[in-house]
Structures are given as structure tokens and as C-alpha cells.
Structure 1
Amino acid sequence: MISKIKRFFEENLQLSDHKPEENEKQIELACIALLIELAKVDQSIDESELRIIRELANKQFEIDNGKIDEIIALAREESEQSTSLYQFTDLVNTNYSDEMKYQLILSMWKVAFADGELDKYEEHLIRKISDLIYVPHVKFMEAKFDAQKENSVR
């Protein structure tokens, strides 16, 4: 199963030297993969988390539903073996501005709050990714507060 996921990301996340618009889509796919990793970190992917991921993918990244569903299906197939976040966070680090990184962390918090329960593993993963993409702690907390406030309005 892991080999299917690796093959998918090798085919879809290799940056091209030719077309900037293709690179942008590949980076967006990396962000969606991080959101999927977050959704499954508590051992269950809730339908409300999937709904938020689809909304974010459509609104922020304009990724078509077929690609999102393919990524979700592959993530669900993955066994308990851990995967490296480096291939995703490296793309974000080298291509995203500080504001875009903040938006990614905000999106992660929205997914974490989607099911009404903040799991300690979700918070840990968001903190880890935040550190890996060099988001200052104050921005990490600001994103958490903003997502929590938005979630309570729903």
C-alpha cells in the first residue's frame, strides 16, 4: 500500500522546470496531503474533516474533486507505517510566503476542529508542521484561535 502512495506522489509532486502553473498545482497537492495526514492522525477520518478538506481544496487551491478523492483514497489505504512529511514541507518552505504558510496552518486547525474534538495528536502534528515550515509560535497560536472562533460560529 505504501508503494502506491509513494508512486502517486512521485508522479504528482515532482516539480517541473518548465511550467510554473504545474509547480503551483503540485505544491497545492502537497498541502492537501498534509491536511489528509492531519485528518488521519487520530486513527479515524471523520466525514466532517473530509468536508472541510474538500472545501479548502476547492476554495483555496482550486483542485478538482477527482484529484482530491484520489488523494483521500490513497491516504485511507495507507497502513500504520509512518510517512515522512519532508517531501511536503520542503515544497511549502521553498515556495510559500509567510502569509501562505499561515493560511496552511489555519487550514490545518480548521480540519482539526471540524469534528468538534481536538485530539492531542492533531495538535502535535500541526505544531510539528508549523515548526518544519518556520511559522512563528505566535502565528501558530493566532491560527488556532481564528479557526476555533470560526468553528464556534458554525
Structure 2
Amino acid sequence: MLHQIRKLFDQIGRGDSVEVHPEKDVRMISAALMAEIATADHKVDERERQVLVRLLMDHYQLDSETAEELMQRALLERHEATSLYEFTQTVNDNFSERDKYLLVKQMWQVAFADGEIDAFEEHLIRRVAELIYLPHGLFTRARAEARDGSNGE
């Protein structure tokens, strides 16, 4: 998945014709990172899938079919993931601090959906937060709000 996203941004950087709109790119970035969290413990709990779809619907005002399709594509293509670095560089170039915070919070929401935080899930979220330079205070706030179910955006 991350390989595909990197390839897409390489094409855009070269000025190649790409049939993708920036809004869809942002959606795919979010779906990809949340899918990585949903599969970090080597299983996808139905509760995680439902939360992932709901987050995509709520955040991007998608209908359920579009959100489900985006999530499915992200889950199917995740095996092509290589490195987080190039991907998080794209996040750094295109996301505001608020967007980064919301992305990390959404990742936590997916992780908390099954009632337990796996060590791999926590490690991945921490690593992404570090690579996108999210201040530690916002990282801990995102975790607490996701855990408590609060919506303090």
C-alpha cells in the first residue's frame, strides 16, 4: 500500500498524467494508515473494520459504500507496503498540525476498537507520530481522547 502511494506521488512529482484528485489522495493516505493499524496485530477485528469505515465516512463525508470500498482497497494493497518514511514525508508536506493530530487520533480509535492495544499497534502509531513531527502533548491527547471517546478536535 505505501509503495503504491509513493509511486503515485512520484508520478505527480514528475508531472505525469494521473487520474487522481488530491482529495482522494488524502483519503487514501488516511485509509492506508488506519488499515495498517487494523492489521498490525495480524488480524482484522470486525469492530476495527467498522470504526475504520465510520471514521472515513465522518471525516471525509463519504457514503458507506465509498468508505467501504476505500477501506477494502487499503486492506488489499497493504502487502505492498515498504517503508513509512516516504509516506510520512508526504503527510508532512500536505497535512497541517491539526490534520496530523486528527490522523493520529483516528489511528488510535481504530486500535482501541477491539478493546485492546496490541504492542505492534502502539509501536506503529508512535512511529508515525514521530515521523510526522506531531508534538508529544498532541500524541498523548489524541490517545486519551480516542480511549475516552471524546471529540475534542
Tell me whether 1:44 sits opposite 2:47 in the alignment. Answer: no
Query: 2 CA distance for matches of 1:15 and 1:54?
Result: 27
Partner of 1:87: 86
CA deviations on 1:26-65 (whole Å, 9 max, x unpaired) are 1221121011111111111111111111111111124523
Partner of 1:105: 104
Aligned residues: 142
User: Cα 1:6–1:104, aligned 2, differ >3 Å: closer, same or farther?
Assistant: closer
Matches within 5 A, 1:4-153: 5=1, 8-9=4-5, 14-15=11-12, 22-62=21-61, 64=66, 65-75=68-78, 78=79, 83-150=82-149
Judge conservation of contact 1:112–1:118 (CA < 8 Å) in 2. yes
The CA RMSD measured in Å over matched residues stands at 2.7
Q: CA deviation at 1:101?
A: 0.5
Give ranges in structure 2 of 5+ residues lacking alignment: none
Structure 2 counterpart of 1:121, one-letter code? F
Query: 2 CA distance for matches of 1:141 and 1:90?
Result: 22
Query: 2 CA distance for matches of 1:6 and 1:39?
Result: 15
Judge conservation of contact 2:48–2:114 (CA < 8 Å) in 1. yes
| Identity among equivalent pairs (%) | 35
Judge conservation of contact 2:5–2:87 (CA < 8 Å) in 1. no
Structure 2 counterpart of 1:92, one-letter code? V
Give ranges in structure 1 of 5+ residues lacking alignment: none
When normalised by structure 2's length, the TM-score is: 0.79
Greater Cα offset, 6-15 or 36-45: 6-15
When normalised by structure 1's length, the TM-score is: 0.79
